[in-house]
Amino acid sequence: MSKKVLYTLEYPVRCSPSILYEFLISPAALQEWFAEKVDEREGVYSFSWNGTEEKANLIEKEADKFVRYRWTHMQKDEYFEFRIDRSEVTNQTILIISDFAEKKDIKDQSQLWEYQVKDLFHRLGS
């Protein structure tokens, strides 16, 4: 099994960090763009797509700054993270997604994130 590598994607967003943060941590908001169904109990999120459920632990967060999750079946040093930054030049909000994938799968995984983020932007009106 080859080792997974960290990759990041950046997206400018036309909304405030606090609104974006809610879409990254709230089960109801995540259900609008990330998965068909999202439940949370004691920091464990259950995400469902097409009848398949995956669980992730919320491992770290800072309001309006970032949220980090780890799929329960993944290695301890692997996670996916949503970070909210602000461009110093344009003062625009930037969503930075960090995730792990095998090198050969990064392109496909990036396309999946592109699709998800497009849905997020639609929900945000961005």
Q: How many domains does the chain have?
A: 1
Taking all residues of the chain, what is their mean pLDDT, rounded to a whole number? Answer: 94
Name the pTM for this structure: 0.92
Instruction: Check if the beta carbon of residue 86 is closer than 8 Å to that of residue 17.
Output: yes
Domain that holds residue 62: 5-124
Distance CA(58)–CA(43), nearest Å, equals: 5
φ and ψ at residue 120, rounded to 5 degrees: -60, -50
CATH number, domain with residue 117: 3.30.530.20
Give the E-state strand segments of the chain in sequence order: 5-13, 37-41, 44-49, 52-62, 66-71, 80-86, 93-101
By the 8 A CB rule, do 35 and 47 touch? yes
Centre a 10 Å sphere on the Cβ of residue 28 and count the other Cβ atoms it contains: 10
Angle at 8 between CA 82 and CA 100, to 5 degrees: 85
Q: What is the pLDDT of residues 97-114, one digit of tens each?
A: 999 999 999 999 999 999
| Closest C-alpha among 126, 116, 125 to residue 33 | 116
Which pLDDT tens digit goes with each residue over 72-90?
999 889 999 999 999 888 8
User: Other C-beta atoms within 10 Å of 13: how many?
Assistant: 19
